[in-house]
Amino acid sequence: MGFSKWISLVFILHASLALPVFSKSSLSPEDLAQIPVNFLDFAKRPELSEWMVDIRRKIHENPELGFQEFETSKFIRAELDQMGIAYKYPFAETGVLGYIGTGLPPFVAIRADMDALAIQESVEWEYKSKVPGKMHACGHDAHISMVLGAARILQEHRYELQGTVVLVFQPAEEGGGGAKKMLDDGALERVDAIFGLHVSSSFPIGAVASRSGPLLAASGFFEAVISGKGGHAAIPQHTIDPILAASNVVVSLQHLVSREADPLDSQVVTVAKFEGGGAFNVIPDSVTIGGTFRAFSKESFIQLKHRIEEVITKQASVQRCNATVIFNENEKPFFPVTVNDKDLHKYFREVAGDMLGTQNVKEMQPLMGSEDFSFYTEVIPGYFFFIGMKNETQGQFEQGHSPYFRVNEDVLPYGAALHASLAMRYLLEKQPKANPPKGSFRDEL
Ligand SMILES: [Zn+2]
Ligand SMILES: [Zn+2]
């Protein structure tokens, strides 16, 4: 029986029987190629797609900020309970790890982020955020729904999994570095590879995009207080003007990228905050500036950080001001570069190509945006990709972090099926060469 028919039969039987176990060798390349196709068909069925829409809307209505995703986490655990999926909790305060499969190696992870943004939603629709000033404006509600959708597909196929899929629901992607805390709590111990995705308004529905190697930049934030001596605006000789000093600091910071960095090594320094003074006729005591810096290599990133501090303090002293610079790494940890594994890129192109057609698997340029998924790619092979939502017939889909951000819910089956296919085929294709070492059972399973 061809694998496709076999899969269909499994769906009919709801996979409640102890099904025969097969290894990769029993599947032809055609059989493997059929898995993503069947999973997408399955995910598009109303029973699964409507369920995912429902989940996404419930989460959308109840957004929670980083490390406060208590209700979201509870909701996810209730869904896992309903599906009979074992999980561990908490990781990094609100994080959840679900497990599907044998409980044995190899382990492959699929990841969703759970946090919302401090934005007041401006989209008027039935499932608008019920929490003033908070909104899922980056699509993390869709990411949760997709991983839960994948969980349902994989749970249906649990007896065919040749290893274990780890469902990673992590807190605080938006600047909080939830991924780092998940790692500190041991979330990815013994996981062989991890996949993550982000919805994107830049690519059409049914298309995905990514690249091998560096995909997203390393990022950090800085804040500086430039202090002078306030006084009457008409008698400047009795003051030390921090507004003028801070203005010169902003201009001097521009030199770091335009004059000091290699033009072929992309970097950004942006001053996005400038606060000082409150009256037309008073020179204030101090000015606070803040911003972000980005780079694609560790060396460039460290160099930028060093020079930002130096330029701010020294430039301020030219105008007789003092400056203190903080990088506030405890609250806003530096994100490393998100680097996609070369072999996983090849693997992703195969799986996504089988599902969507190779013309819909796009190569993209790196972006100066950042992702805390990068913490995972620092320690294990990882792969991050964008999944398209654009559909001109459904109007304009704004970019993330806009109060007008909308998710095209047609994307949910694609995300669920891709997660499930990437995980299942990874286990089928990446069987360990030798027997697993002693003590390799996960005692928590
Ligand atoms: Zn975001
Ligand atoms: Zn995001």
- In sequence order, which residues have a C-beta less than 8 Å from that of residue 376 and are 6 or more positions away? 109, 111, 179, 183, 188, 194, 196, 382
Number of residues in the chain = 445
- Span 323-353, pLDDT tens digits: 999 998 988 899 999 999 999 999 999 999 9
From the CA of 174, the nearest ligand is 1
Residue with tokens 């950004």, as numbered in its chain: 268
Binding residue per annotation — 121? Answer: no
Compute the distance from residue 36 Cα to the ligand 1 centre, in Å.
28
What's the whole-number average pLDDT of the chain? 92
- Number of other residues whose CB lies within 10 A of the CB of residue 260: 12
Q: What is the pLDDT of residue 331?
A: 87
pLDDT band (50, 70, 90) for residue 11: very low
Among 405, 417, 411, residue whose Cα is nearest residue 391: 411
Residue 29 CA to ligand 1 center (angstroms) comes to: 37
Cα 202 to ligand 1 centroid, rounded to whole Å: 15
| Cα angle 326-330-332, degrees, rounded to a multiple of 5 | 80
**Is 321 annotated as belonging to a binding site?**
no
CA of 370 to the centre of ligand 1 (A): 9
Closest ligand, as measured to the CA of 139:
2
Give me the torsion for CA of 286, 292, 295, 298, rounded to 10°. Answer: 70
Question: Domain residue spans in the chain?
Answer: 3-215+337-429, 218-326
Distant-in-sequence, close-in-space partners of 350: CB < 8 Å, separation ≥ 6: none
pTM, two decimal places: 0.89
Asked if residue 268 lies in contact with residue 257, where contact means CB atoms within 8 angstroms, the answer is yes
β-pair type (382-390, 231-232): unpaired
For ligand 2, the distance from its centroid to the CA atom of residue 139, given in whole angstroms, is: 6
pLDDT at residue number 356: 98
What is the Cα–Cα distance from 209 to 384, expressed in whole angstroms?
Answer: 9
Task: Say which CATH class 218-326 falls into.
Answer: alpha beta
Question: What is the mean predicted confidence (pLDDT) over 7-21?
Answer: 38
Is 136 annotated among the ligand-binding residues?
A: no
- Is the model's pLDDT at 157 over the cut of 70? yes
> In whole angstroms, what is the distance from residue 330 CA to residue 277 CA?
29
Of the two residues 409 and 1, the one the predictor is more confident about is 409
Residue 343 alpha carbon to ligand 1 centre in Å: 27
Ligand number, closest to the Cα atom of 175? 1
Task: Provide CATH code, domain 3-215+337-429.
Answer: 3.40.630.10
**Interval between CA 399 and ligand 1 midpoint (Å):** 10
Question: What is the rounded average pLDDT of the residues 161-181?
Answer: 96
Q: How far is the CA of 227 from the centre of ligand 2 (A)?
A: 36
* Burial of 232 from C-beta contacts in 10 A (0-12 / 13-18 / 19+): exposed
Ligand nearest to the CA of 144: 2
Q: Which ligand has the minimum distance to the alpha carbon of residue 170?
A: 2
- Alpha carbon distances (Å) from 342 to 45, 56, 219, 422, 429: 34, 32, 22, 15, 16
Let me know: does 115 contact 151? Beta carbons within 8 Å: no
What is the distance in A from the centroid of ligand 1 to the CA of 120?
A: 15
CB within 5 A of ion ligand 1: which residues?
138, 400
Residue 210, both tokens? 């990514």
Q: Using one digit for the tens of pLDDT, what is the confidence trace for 187-243? A: 999 999 999 999 999 999 999 999 999 999 999 999 999 999 999 999 999 999 999
- Per-residue pLDDT reduced to its tens digit, 353-376: 999 999 999 999 999 999 999 999
End-to-end CA separation in angstroms for the chain: 33
Tens-digit pLDDT profile for residues 85-109? 999 999 999 999 999 999 999 999 9
Give the confidence band of 432 by pLDDT, cuts at 50, 70, 90: low
Calculate how far, in angstroms, residue 11's C-alpha sits from the geometric centre of ligand 1.
36
Q: Whose atoms come closest to the Cα of 199: which ligand?
A: 2
Using DSSP's 3-state secondary structure scheme, residue 145 falls into helix
Cis peptide before 20 (omega within 30 of 0): no
Where do the DSSP E strands lie in 64-171? 86-91, 95-101, 107-113, 164-170
Residue closest to 153 by CA, chosen among 111, 105, 100, 194: 100
Q: How far is the CA of 274 from the centre of ligand 2 (A)?
A: 26
CA distances (Å), origin 172, targets 69, 130, 251, 353: 8, 20, 33, 31
Tell me the backbone φ, ψ of residue 286, rounded to 5 degrees: -150, 165
Rounded-to-integer distance, Cα 339 and Cα 373, Å: 9
pLDDT at 25: 53
Q: How far is it, in rounded angstroms, from Cα 121 to Cα 133? A: 7
Whole-number Å distance, alpha carbon 422 to ligand 2 midpoint, is 20
> What sign for the dihedral angle of Cα 194, 195, 197, 203?
positive
